[in-house]
Amino acid sequence: MEEVPDVPLPGSGALTRSTPPTGSGTSLVFCAPSGSSLMGELRLPDVKALDREEGLVVAQAAAALRCYAAALEAVGAERVLVGFEGEVRSAQANPAVAPGGGPARFGGDVARALAVAEIATAQSVSEYAAFRVVALAESLAGPLRQVRDLLAAGALSEGHARIIAQQTEGLAAQDVDEFVRLAVARLRTRSGRMRTVQEFRPVAQRLREKSDPESWARRRKQATRERGVWFRPEADGMCTLTALLPAEVGVGLYAAVDTAARSHRAVFPDDPRTWAQLRADVLTHASLSGTSLPRAVPADFDPSSSIRMRLGATNHSALSRTALTRRPWPDRDCGRRS
């Protein structure tokens, strides 16, 4: 069997392209990572021989495989978390670890922080992405183990599982099983079509409100505590600024920005900027000038020059490089419990 050499990442599975003995075509083979508890390989024979229908079947199988992989990831992350929790307990029980009492570095929920750091390093992802993996793994390891089994079987996606996990937070233990039963029954429409994640979210939310009418106020209070603003660098010297706000605040802020942009267009109808560009410039102008939303924004308004003036930066390329080296994940404490 002739193999094209591939260089897998350390600790990852090996993807190879090989020619079957019959010489009928090229197959793709994924082998379990060396040193892991996984066994066997996944093989797609004779790739070029697939017709349209067979390709669709392979695509459907790949979707089921993603579900299984998500469940597998949850199992692994949960065992990492359990392992660190045991180490933390052992350290806290040993007064010799740190003079004068318990070890200072193990104060708080350090096990979760350590698990997040290890998962982020092992998967080469951001700590925020790793935090989401650990949080879902912890949820699916308890009363929601049934959901993890359904995920592994491809009966629902990772997105569906996350929604069920979110909606069961704070529910009494005796109510979780009934909620999961009802939620799983509503994964599909009356015609048998699987609901998308976006369609399933309001369905699960209504179920939660019906199961626990007082939960909305508690969840709203918790969600409000999670508000924040995050920066993410983008290509070509751009960035995305994301704000998580109460809905009424966000609607009001967007309406104010949109109204200011429309006022500008009414005064300067020949301004070539699009609505999106005008809204962006209105928001930037108001934020950097420290004033209220303007009625008009100059057509030659340069957000980059405004930020240079405000921060005292004289080298635009240096400023861009600084922005692009910032952490691409939200600046939040990934080690704390939500």
Could you report how far apart the first and last alpha carbons of the chain are, in Å?
A: 51
pLDDT at 97: 52
Span 4-33, average pLDDT: 54
Distance of alpha carbon 287 from alpha carbon 129, whole angstroms? 29
pLDDT in tens, 62-91: 999 999 999 999 999 999 999 998 988 888
Question: What is this structure's pTM?
Answer: 0.63
| Helix boundaries (H) for the chain | 52-92, 110-123, 127-141, 145-152, 158-167, 173-185, 197-211, 215-225, 247-267, 275-289, 303-311, 316-324
pLDDT at 127: 87
pLDDT in tens, 257-287: 999 999 999 989 999 999 999 999 999 988 8
Burial-class residue 86 by CB neighbours within 10 Å (0-12, 13-18, 19+): exposed
Distance of alpha carbon 112 from alpha carbon 161, whole angstroms? 21
Structure tokens, 33 = 């990572």
Distance of alpha carbon 190 from alpha carbon 157, whole angstroms? 19
What percent of the chain stands above pLDDT 70? 73
Residue 98 β-bridge partners: 101
Distance of CA 59 to the CA centre of its chain: 23
pLDDT at 323 over 50: no
pLDDT at 239 over 70: yes
